[in-house]
Amino acid sequence: MKTPVYLALLVLWAFFGCQPATEEQESEKAVKQQEPTAFEKFLIRKDELNLRFSYSNPERKISFHNYKGNYPEWRTEVFQKFSELISYAPPGDRPVRELRSMVHEGITYHALVMDAGSQLSLPAYLLVPGGKIKGNVMAVHGHGDVEAMIGLRDDYHHRFAYELAREGYMVLCPELRGFSTLGNLSDDTELDDLDYWVSDGYQFTLVTEGFQHGRTLIGETIADLVAWENWWVGAYQVESFDVAGISYGGDLVLYFPVFSKRVDKIFCSGSLGSFNGIFATSYNAPAHCIPDILTWMDRSDIAGLNAPRPILLHYGELDTPSAENHSASYNKTVEPAFRELKEIYARAGAGDKVLLRVTRGFHHEMDNELLISFLAGRIK
């Protein structure tokens, strides 16, 4: 038989022993659990290392400011080296078919598919306005997707292709390798993943696999744009056109016209600057990457191959480096690169054809008003 004292102790234990732990007790318990073991204390810590690595200043052997010859000689040499570095191969004519069309807000949208060989199809959209056509524009999207550019939704592109069509321009909008429906170029192959900008995580294998085969994503994408130009010329008798792009698309509209004789004006938003720092400082994704480029040249040199075409370089005032900004195109390399580009154009007799505009209060985003004014010839 249990004594009254035993029962009293049992009641006290039940009352106090079953009470939830206080915050102080929980904190003490957490500290004990976080206390490193002797083995963990032995391991080398970051604060015991020197972690300030960076690559040395680029050599840029044939950059314009290091070159002793004239502009035509320099252009020939740089064009050949750039073509080699991106592994550019002229695409020739590729078959294109129209899947369907629709009219939306007075604009006829054509859904197109190009056959880029037996293993790959590439989509694009052609926006044709009602009434008289003011001009022709190839619009090139950045990281994201073409659908936002043509008006399906709004993001940093600000539907600029759709806005151009509303202004009366016929606009060709290729979808780029690695994005949207092309996020995984081997999606129909079991187990394989050649992906880039996909929503469920990415390893950028489309870029790294290409490097192993001596190919670059940017070089193959430039060839795609040339192929779309070839089709456009044949199907719609387009004799000339302007180009507009933002971010990665800004890179492309500076590079692609180097391989074209039909591009008139270039509107480049969120690009130029130097290659030196776009990954380490601005933390960009690797579509821009051209192996060994800084041994030979920089972005200003590539853009300079376009002389005497008019170029407007656009930036958002707030698109500057920070821990959260993985674009950061308006960085400290912009002003030197712009001066270098102006110098190249001046030597080609077109120093007044390069313009720089910064939109106050903008981040990494398109300025449609500025774009439309430039294409209409209202900005000189």
HEC states along 239-289? Answer: CCEEEEEECHHHHHHHHHHHHCCCEEEEEEECCCCCCCCCCCCCCCCHHHC
- The structure tokens 């007075």 sit at 106
- The structure tokens 């996909």 sit at 198
Model confidence over 344-376: pLDDT tens digits?
999 999 999 999 999 999 999 999 999 999 999
Can you give the pLDDT at residue 29?
A: 65
What number is the average pLDDT over the span 19-41? 73
**How high is the mean pLDDT of the chain?**
91
pTM of the model: 0.89
Model confidence over 242-259: pLDDT tens digits?
999 999 999 999 999 999
CB 307 within 8 A of CB 354: no
For residue 303, the tally of other CB atoms under 10 A from its CB is: 29
Q: In which band, very low, low, confident or very high, does the pLDDT at 15 lie, cut at 50, 70 and 90?
A: very low
Question: Domain segments of the chain: what residues?
Answer: 4-48, 64-375
Can you give the pLDDT at residue 25?
A: 63
What number is the average pLDDT over the span 77-95? 97
Class of domain 64-375: alpha beta
Q: Considering only CA atoms, which of 87, 180, 185 is closest in space to residue 142? A: 180
Model confidence over 201-248: pLDDT tens digits?
777 999 999 999 999 999 999 999 999 999 999 999 999 999 999 999
More confident residue, 117 or 160: 160
Can you give the pLDDT at residue 12?
A: 45
Can you give the pLDDT at residue 35?
A: 87
Can you give the pLDDT at residue 199?
A: 66
Q: Is 231 left (phi over 0), alpha (psi -120 to 50) or beta?
A: alpha
Helix 217-236 × helix 205-212 angle, to 10°: 100
Check pLDDT > 90 for residue 11. Answer: no
Among 29-33, 280-284, 285-289, the least confident range: 29-33
